[in-house]
C-alpha cells in the first residue's frame, strides 16, 4: 500500500523531533498504522538547517504554500506556532482537502471554532494532541477514553516553565526573580517568558480541554488568567506549614448551581493544593492533569509537557490516527471537540465573581488587641467561614505580624467585597495576599 505522505511546516525543536522519531520507529509505527508514514516535504525559512536534519529523504522548500499545493501530500503538519500566518496556512491546507496535524495551542484556543468548522465542511481531520501537555495523551483521553462520562472538572499543571519555577521557590526558599533567571539559564524559560509566567500558555490549553470536556466552543477570551509573577516566597512557605503546595493550575468546572442553564468555570491562577494530593507532588518541568468524571471518578495523567521527542510522540500519534481514518466516512470520525457538531451547547463561561472556591489570605497587620476579631467579623458578615488560621508571633521589637487564613468555599464576588473592607482597616498595613485553594477530591 502506498505510504501516507506528510508535509511538515516548520522543522524547529518539535519538527526535528517528529522527523527523528518517525524515522527511528518507522517499522513499529507502520505496524500500528497499517501503512507507512513518510515526511516527504519540509517547508522552513532556514533551508540549510532543514536539509541538515532531513538529508535526502525529503524535499526542502522555503515556501509553505508549495507543500499545501502538492497533490501528493496527504497530511500537513503545522509546527510554525502563533496566531498569524499559521491560521492562514491551516485554513488553506483545509481548503485544499488536506488533513492537518498541529501542536499550536494558541491558534486553536483563539481560532479553533473557525478552523474546526472549516474542516468539518471539507470533510478533513484536524488533530491536535500535541497542543496540550506535550507527550501526555490528554486529548485522546477526554475525547475517547472518557467518552462515557459526564466530566465534572479538570485541573492541570500544564506549563512546565512555571512548575519548575514554583518547585525551585519551594525547595530552595528563593524569590521569583532569582528562580526565573535560573530557569532561563537552564533553558526551561524563554528569553521572553511572558506567555508562560503570566499564565497565557496554560490558559490556551485549559480553553481547549474545557471545550472538549463540556461540548462548548473554544472561548479563550472568556478565560480568567493570572500568572505567578506576584507570588512571594513567604506564601509558599506558609502554605507548606499549613499542609499545602502552590501550583499554577488550569481549572475548568461544570457548575449546575449557576442559573438555569448552569455555567462553566474557566480559569488559570496560582492555587493551593493539599500536599497529600498526587498532583501537588509534580515537580520540576513535568505536567499533570486531573480529570473527574461521574462514572470513572478521579483520574491522573502525568508526563513531560514539552520537549522535542515528547511532543513529537503526540504529533506522530495524530499522524497514525489520521492514517487509520484516511478512508473512513467523515461523518463517523471522532469529533474534534468530542461532541457531534450539531450537539454543541451554549452553556456560558462564568465571570470570576461567580466562581466558587476556597481561599488562602495573608494579612500584614498591626500587633494590637482586637485586630483579629475585626477581620473575622468582616468575613462572617459576608458568610465566609474559616477553615484554618495561623498567626505568626511578631519578632523581637516588631509591632506587626502576619495573619494567615484558609477559608471554606465561597463565591469570589463576596470575597472581593470582604477583602476591600479588610484592606480599608487602619490596622491592615500592606496589600492583602489572596490565593485560591482547590481540594481536588
The model's pLDDT over 47-85, given as tens digits with 9 standing for 90+, comes to 999 999 999 999 999 999 999 999 999 999 999 999 889
Answer yes or no: is pLDDT of 160 > 70: yes
Tens digits of residue pLDDT in 362-418: 999 999 999 999 999 999 999 999 999 998 888 788 899 999 999 999 999 999 999
Q: Is the pLDDT of residue 101 over 70?
A: yes
Least confident of 160-169, 323-332, 343-352: 323-332
Average pLDDT over residues 88-99: 98
* Domain definitions of the chain by residue range: 4-135+308-341, 139-304, 355-437
Query: Which pLDDT score, from 0 to 100, does residue 306 have?
Result: 87
Question: Under 8 Å CB-to-CB from 140, ≥6 apart: which residues?
Answer: 129, 317
pLDDT for residue 345 is more than 90: no
Residue 252 has what pLDDT?
98
User: With contact defined as beta carbons under 8 Å apart, do 262 and 346 qualify?
Assistant: no
**With pLDDT > 90 as the criterion, what percentage of the chain qualifies?**
86
CATH placement of domain 4-135+308-341 = 3.40.50.720
**Separation CA 343–CA 416 (nearest Å):** 37
Going by their DSSP bridges, the two strands 297-304 and 263-274 should be labelled as unpaired
CATH number for domain 355-437, candidates 3.30.70.260, 3.30.70.270, 3.40.50.300, 3.40.50.920? 3.30.70.260
| Confidence (pLDDT) at 207 | 98
Q: What is the pLDDT of residue 328?
A: 61
Active site residues: 205
Mean pLDDT, residues 175-182 taken together: 94
pLDDT bin (cut points 50, 70, 90) of residue 332 is: low
Q: What's the confidence (pLDDT) of residue 325? A: 84
154 has pLDDT over 90: yes
Question: Which is more confidently placed, 154 or 327?
Answer: 154
This model's pTM is above 0.85 = yes
Specify which residues 249 forms β-bridges with: 269
User: Could you tell me if 274 and 244 are in contact, meaning their C-beta atoms sit under 8 angstroms apart?
Assistant: yes
The chain-wide mean pLDDT, for the chain, equals 94
> For residue 138, which of 81, 212, 74 has the smallest C-alpha distance?
212
- CATH fold, domain 139-304, is Dihydrodipicolinate Reductase; domain 2 (3.30.360)
**17 — pLDDT class (breaks 50, 70, 90):** very high
> Residue 441: what pLDDT?
83
Amino acid at each position: 500500500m502506498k505510504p501516507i505522505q506528510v508535509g511538515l511546516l516548520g522543522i524547529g525543536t518539535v519538527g526535528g523531533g517528529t522527523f527523528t522519531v518517525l524515522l527511528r520507529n518507522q517499522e513499529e509505527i507502520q505496524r500500528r498504522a497499517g501503512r507507512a508514514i513518510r515526511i516527504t516535504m519540509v517547508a522552513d525559512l532556514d533551508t540549510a538547517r532543514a536539509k541538515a536534519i532531513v538529508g535526502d529523504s525529503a524535499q526542502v522548500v522555503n515556501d509553505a504554500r508549495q507543500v499545501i499545493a502538492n497533490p501528493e501530500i496527504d497530511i500537513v503538519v503545522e509546527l510554525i506556532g502563533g496566531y498569524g500566518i499559521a491560521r492562514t496556512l491551516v485554513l488553506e491546507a483545509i481548503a485544499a482537502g488536506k488533513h492537518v496535524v498541529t501542536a499550536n495551542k494558541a491558534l486553536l484556543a483563539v481560532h479553533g471554532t473557525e478552523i474546526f468548522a472549516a474542516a468539518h465542511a471539507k470533510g478533513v481531520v484536524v488533530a491536535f494532541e500535541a497542543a496540550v501537555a506535550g507527550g501526555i495523551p490528554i486529548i485522546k483521553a477526554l475525547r475517547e477514553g472518557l467518552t462515557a462520562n459526564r466530566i465534572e472538572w479538570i485541573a492541570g499543571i500544564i506549563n512546565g516553565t512555571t512548575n519548575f519555577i514554583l518547585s525551585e521557590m519551594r525547595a530552595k526558599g528563593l524569590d521569583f526573580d532569582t528562580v526565573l533567571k535560573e530557569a532561563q539559564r537552564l533553558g526551561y524559560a524563554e528569553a521572553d517568558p511572558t506567555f508562560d509566567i503570566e499564565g497565557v500558555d496554560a490558559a490556551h490549553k485549559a480553553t481547549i480541554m474545557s471545550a472538549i470536556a463540556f461540548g462548548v466552543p473554544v472561548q479563550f477570551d472568556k478565560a480568567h488568567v493570572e500568572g505567578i509573577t506576584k507570588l512571594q516566597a513567604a506564601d509558599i512557605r506558609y502554605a507548606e506549614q499549613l499542609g499545602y503546595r502552590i501550583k499554577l493550575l488550569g481549572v475548568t468546572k461544570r457548575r449546575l448551581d449557576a442559573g438555569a442553564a448552569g455555567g462553566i468555570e474557566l480559569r488559570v491562577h496560582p492555587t493551593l493544593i493539599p500536599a497529600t494530593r498526587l498532583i501537588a507532588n509534580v515537580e520540576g518541568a513535568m505536567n499533570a492533569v486531573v480529570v473527574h468524571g461521574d462514572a470513572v471518578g478521579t483520574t491522573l495523567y502525568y508526563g513531560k509537557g514539552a520537549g522535542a521527542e515528547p511532543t513529537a510522540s503526540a504529533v506522530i500519534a495524530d499522524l497514525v490516527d489520521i492514517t487509520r481514518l484516511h478512508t473512513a466516512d467523515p461523518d463517523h470520525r471522532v469529533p474534534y471537540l468530542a461532541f457531534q457538531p450539531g450537539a454543541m451547547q451554549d452553556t456560558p463561561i462564568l465571570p470570576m465573581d461567580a466562581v466558587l472556591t476556597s481561599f488562602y489570605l495573608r494579612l500584614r497587620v498591626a500587633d494590637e488587641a482586637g485586630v483579629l476579631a475585626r477581620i473575622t467579623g468582616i468575613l462572617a458578615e459576608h458568610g465566609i467561614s474559616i477553615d484554618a488560621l495561623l498567626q505568626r508571633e511578631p519578632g523581637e521589637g516588631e509591632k506587626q505580624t502576619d495573619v494567615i487564613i484558609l477559608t471554606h468555599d465561597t463565591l469570589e464576588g463576596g470575597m472581593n467585597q470582604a477583602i476591600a473592607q479588610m484592606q480599608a482597616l487602619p490596622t491592615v498595613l500592606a496589600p492583602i495576599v489572596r490565593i485560591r485553594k482547590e481540594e481536588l477530591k
